[in-house]
Homo-oligomer: A and B are copies of this chain.
Amino acid sequence: MTNKPTIVKGTRDFSPMEMSKRNYIFKTIEDVYSLYGYQQIETPAIETLQTLMGKYGEEGDKLLFKVLNSGDFLRKVDDKELVERNTLKLASQLCEKGLRYDLTVPFARYVVMHHDELQFPFKRYQIQPVWRADRPQKGRYREFYQCDADVVGSDSLLNEVELMQIVDEVFQRFGVRVIIKINNRKILSGIAEMIGAADKIVDITVAIDKLDKIGLENVNQELANAGISPDAIEKLQPIISLQGTNDEKLNVIKNVLKDSQVGLKGVEEVAYILDVLKPMQLNNEIELDLTLARGLNYYTGAIFEVKAKDVSIGSITGGGRYDNLTGIFGKPGLSGVGISFGADRIYDVLNALDLYPKETTNSTQILFINFGEKETAYCLPLVNEARSHGVSAEMYPDAVKMKKQMSYANAKQIAFVAMAGENEMQENKITIKNMETGEQILVPISDFMDVFSEQRK
C-alpha cells in the first residue's frame, strides 16, 4: 500500500505564501472588474465533449482532457472496433465528458442555456482553472487559471474602451508598467483584400504575428511559402514595417486601405477607441500594432495584447472582439468582446519586480507560547480576546520546548509572541515580545489588548 506520492506533471501545489500572492492577483483583478460592473459566474470543470469538441481546432481537440465514462465504459464498443484501435474514434465512445479548455466556450454555452434569464448586454467575469493536455514545460502548465471578462450582446465600441481602462487600471494597481497593443481584425482583412489574397488572411496574420520573433525577412519567406505572390508581399511591406504615433499610423493605413470597405471600417474603429480614450489619460501607453494578430481565428474586430515593459516574458493579457460567439450553440447574432489576464505570468512579473505589497502575506499576528495546562487555561481567554478584535491569534497546541515554539513563530513570520509563566500568572500579567525588535514588555492582562494594539502600529 505504501508508495511515494507524486504530483501529475504540469500541475502544481500552491503553498500558503504562493496562495497569498495569487489571491492578491485575483482580488486585484476582481475588484477592478466589479468596479466596471462585471459580475462573476462559475461553470463546472467538466463539460460534455459535445460542448468542447471542434471549438479549438484539430490541435485543440487533441489537447482536451477526456474523462472516462463511469461503469461499463466499453458498453458502446464492439470487439471489432476495439481491436481496430482508432484512438480518436474510441475516445469519443469511451468518454462523454472532458475538462474545460478555456473559459470562453463554457461562457458561450452558459449564455445560450441561460439566455432567457440574462439581461443584455451581459457583463460577466470568471476566474477558474482550465486544463490542457499539453506537453509540460517551463512556464506551461496543464492546469492553470484564466481570469476572463467579457461583454456579450453589445456592438458598442465603448465596451472596448472600457476594457482598455480595465487593463490600465489593473496594471496600475499592480505597479507594473505595460504597453497595451491594439489592432483590428478588419484592418488585417482589409490588407488581405487590398493585396488580392483575401483567402490567405489566416496565413498572413500568422506570419505577421511573428515579426517580433523571426524578423522581416523570415516573415516574407513565410508569406511566400504560404503562396502569397511576390507582388502582394511587396505591397505588404510598408504595412508590416509601419512606424510613428498611432495617429500617423492610422493616416498611412487609411490611405493604403482607401479602396477596402472593411479595412476602412477597422481604421475607423481603432480611431474611435483611441479618440475616446485620449481625454482619460491612461497611465499606460496604448500602441496600434499592425503585427498583432494573436493567431486566433475567431476575432472579428478589436484585438488586444499587453506586454510588461520591465520584464521580458511575452503577452500577459490579451483579448478582442468576436462576433457570433454563441452561433456554435445555435444562438446567432450575439457579439462579444473580452479580455483575459494571464495570472501565471503576472505572478512571475510581480515576483521579478518584487511588487507584492508587504501585507500580502497575512499570517498569524500573535502566538501564545504553551508552557502547560495551567498556563494554557490562563492564556486562552486572551487568545479569544485577540480574535474577537479581529486579530489572527494562535495558542501553540503542545507544551514543547520554548525553542521549538519560537522557531514556529519565526517560520510563520508571526510578529508577536505572548508568554505567561508562573511569575506572570502570579501578577496577573503577560509578556508580549516583538519578534522583529526583540523588545519585551510585561503588561497586566486587563491591558493586554490595548497595549498589543498600540505595539502593532
Residues 383 to 418 of chain A near chain B (Cβ within 8 Å): 384, 387, 390-395, 397-398, 407-408, 411-412
A35 touches B392 (CB 8 A): yes
- A186 interface hit (Cβ, 8 Å): no
User: What mask results when residues 76 to 118 of chain A are scored 1 for a CB within 8 Å of chain B, else 0?
Assistant: 0001001101010011001101010000000001101110010
User: What mask results when residues 333 to 373 of chain A are scored 1 for a CB within 8 Å of chain B, else 0?
Assistant: 00000000000000000000000000000111001001000
B35 touches A397 (CB 8 A): no
Give the docked Cα–Cα distance between A384 and B168 (Å): 13
Highest count of chain B CB atoms <10 Å: which of A5, A34, A67, A99: A5
**A396 → B minimal CB distance (Å):** 8
A133 touches B8 (CB 8 A): no
Give the docked Cα–Cα distance between A156 and B400 (Å): 11
- A312 interface hit (Cβ, 8 Å): no
Contact of A397 among B85, B156, B362 (CB under 8 A): B156
B35 touches A16 (CB 8 A): no
**A29 → B minimal CB distance (Å):** 15
User: What mask results when residues 313 to 341 of chain A are scored 1 for a CB within 8 Å of chain B, else 0?
Assistant: 00000000000000111100000000000
Interface segment, A44-52, A196-204, A230-238? A44-52
Q: A2-B329, A13-B114 are in contact. Are A398 and B276 (CB under 8 A)?
A: no
**A430 → B minimal CB distance (Å):** 17
A interface residues with partner B (beta carbon < 8 Å): 1-8, 11-16, 19-20, 23, 34-37, 39-48, 50-51, 54, 62-63, 65-68, 70-74, 79, 82-83, 85, 87, 90-91, 94-95, 97, 99, 109-110, 112-114, 117, 119, 121, 123-124, 129, 131, 133, 142-143, 151, 154-156, 158-159, 162, 165, 169, 276, 279-280, 327-330, 362-364, 367, 370, 376-377, 380-381, 384, 387, 390-395, 397-398, 407-408, 411-412
